[in-house]
Structure 1
Amino acid sequence: MNGNTFVIKCGGSTLAALPNGFFAELAAFQRQGLQPVIVHGGGPEISQSLGKLGIHTEFVDGLRRTTSEVLDVVEMVLAGKINKEIVRRMTQNGAKAVGLSGTDGRLLTAQPVANADKLGYVGEVTEVNTELLNSLLSVGYIPVVAPVGLGADNQRYNINADTAAGAVASSLGATPFIVVTDVPGIAGTVGGVKKVLPSVTPSKIKSMIESGEIYGGMIPKVQAALKCLGGNVNEVVIVNGSEPGVLGKVLRGENIGTKITAEQAAAPA
Structure 2
Amino acid sequence: MSRAPVVIKVGGALLEHPEAMAHLFASIAHIQTTRPVVLVHGGGPSVEQLMQALNLPSTKIDGLRVTPDEHMPYIGGALAGHVNKALCGQALSNKLTPVGLSLLDGNMVHCAPLDAKYGAVGRAQPGEPGLLLSILSQTMLPVISSIGADDTGRLLNINADQAAMVIAQLVGGDLLLLSNVEGVLDADKMLLTDLDEQTLATLYDNGVVTDGMRVKTDAALTAALALKRPVSIASWSASISAILHHETGTRIHPNALPNGERP
| Length-normalised TM-score, structure 1 | 0.87
Cα distance change of structure 1 residues 61 and 195 upon mapping to structure 2, 3 Å threshold: farther
Unaligned stretches of 5+ residues in structure 1: none
Cα distance change of structure 1 residues 171 and 265 upon mapping to structure 2, 3 Å threshold: farther
Whole-angstrom CA distance in 2 between matches of 1:188 and 1:215: 11
Q: Which amino acid aligns with 1:180?
A: L
Whole-angstrom CA distance in 1 between matches of 2:31 and 2:189: 34
The structural deviation recorded for 1:187 is 3.3
Unaligned stretches of 5+ residues in structure 2: none
The structural deviation recorded for 1:33 is 3.2
- 2:16 corresponds to 1:21: no
> How many residues are aligned here?
258
Cα distance change of structure 1 residues 217 and 102 upon mapping to structure 2, 3 Å threshold: farther
The structural deviation recorded for 1:38 is 0.6
SS at match of 2:144: strand
Match of 2:81 in 1: 80
- 2:57 corresponds to 1:60: no
| Residues 66-113 of structure 1: CA deviation (Å, up to 9, x unaligned) | 111332221100111111111111111111110101122223221122
Match of 1:259 in 2: 251
Cα distance change of structure 1 residues 231 and 253 upon mapping to structure 2, 3 Å threshold: same
Task: State whether residues 199 and 262 of structure 2, in contact with CA within 8 Å, keep that contact through their aligned partners in structure 1.
Answer: no
Whole-angstrom CA distance in 2 between matches of 1:121 and 1:185: 32
SS at match of 2:227: coil
Cα distance change of structure 1 residues 122 and 201 upon mapping to structure 2, 3 Å threshold: same
Task: State whether residues 57 and 70 of structure 1, in contact with CA within 8 Å, keep that contact through their aligned partners in structure 2.
Answer: no
Whole-angstrom CA distance in 2 between matches of 1:16 and 1:69: 27
Match of 2:121 in 1: 122
Fraction of identical pairs, as percent: 30
Match of 1:7 in 2: 7
SS at match of 1:170: helix
| Length-normalised TM-score, structure 2 | 0.89
What root-mean-square deviation, in Å, do the aligned CA atoms of Structure 1 and Structure 2 show? Answer: 2.2
Whole-angstrom CA distance in 1 between matches of 2:173 and 2:39: 12
The structural deviation recorded for 1:197 is 2.3
Whole-angstrom CA distance in 2 between matches of 1:106 and 1:185: 33
SS at match of 2:226: coil
Whole-angstrom CA distance in 2 between matches of 1:208 and 1:65: 30
- 2:108 corresponds to 1:107: yes
Moved more, 157-166 or 179-188: 179-188
Moved more, 14-23 or 138-147: 14-23
SS at match of 1:82: helix
Match of 2:170 in 1: 171
Q: For residues 35-54 of structure 1, what are the structure 2 equivalents within 5 Å?
A: 35-54=36-55
SS at match of 2:256: helix
